[in-house]
């Protein structure tokens, strides 16, 4: 599991003083980037071997300024050319759940501009992160 601390910024807020619904997706992205930092050598953006194709997000409780939060990201399914990340945004102290999500990524070569079958060495990385 990849654990990514979140710093809530003033610009994340809506007029009701809670994190705006559109911001939760950017928090999920931070978790995916931490996955990349852990497992992939990225010299240029083209080195990222996937493209995001789907996001499912349920906001369970409002996240407000001053609350602690982190994204917990793990692999929940591996297919032939795609895989799913599951993620929870929680308070690491109280374990209060703010949001739960699923994203689908397709293994993608940006230089060739095409999706590919997930190579065996990358598939092993994904399987190690499965919960």
Mean pLDDT of 74-93: 97
Query: pLDDT tens digits, residue range 3-15?
Result: 999 999 989 988 8
- The angle at the Cα of 32, spanning 29 to 36, to the nearest 5 degrees, equals 135
| Residue ranges of domains in the chain, CATH in brackets | 2-126 (3.10.129.10)
Residue 105 vs residues 7, 8, 30, 89, 117: alpha-carbon distances, Å: 25, 26, 14, 19, 12
CA atoms of 14 and 4, how far apart (whole Å): 23
- Reported pTM: 0.90
């Amino acid at each position: 599991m990849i654990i990514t601390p979140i710093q809530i910024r003033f610009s994340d807020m809506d007029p009701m003083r809670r994190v705006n619904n559109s911001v939760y997706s950017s928090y999920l992205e931070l978790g995916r980037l931490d996955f990349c930092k852990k497992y992939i050598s990225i010299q240029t953006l083209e080195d990222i071997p996937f493209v995001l194709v789907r996001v499912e997000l349920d906001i369970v409780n409002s996240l407000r300024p001053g609350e602690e939060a982190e994204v917990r990201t793990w692999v929940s399914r591996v297919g032939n050319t795609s895989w799913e990340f599951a993620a929870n945004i929680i308070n690491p102290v109280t374990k209060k759940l703010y949001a739960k999500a699923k994203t689908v990524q397709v293994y993608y070569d940006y230089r060739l501009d095409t999706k590919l079958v997930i190579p065996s060495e990358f598939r092993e990385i994904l399987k190690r992160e499965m919960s």
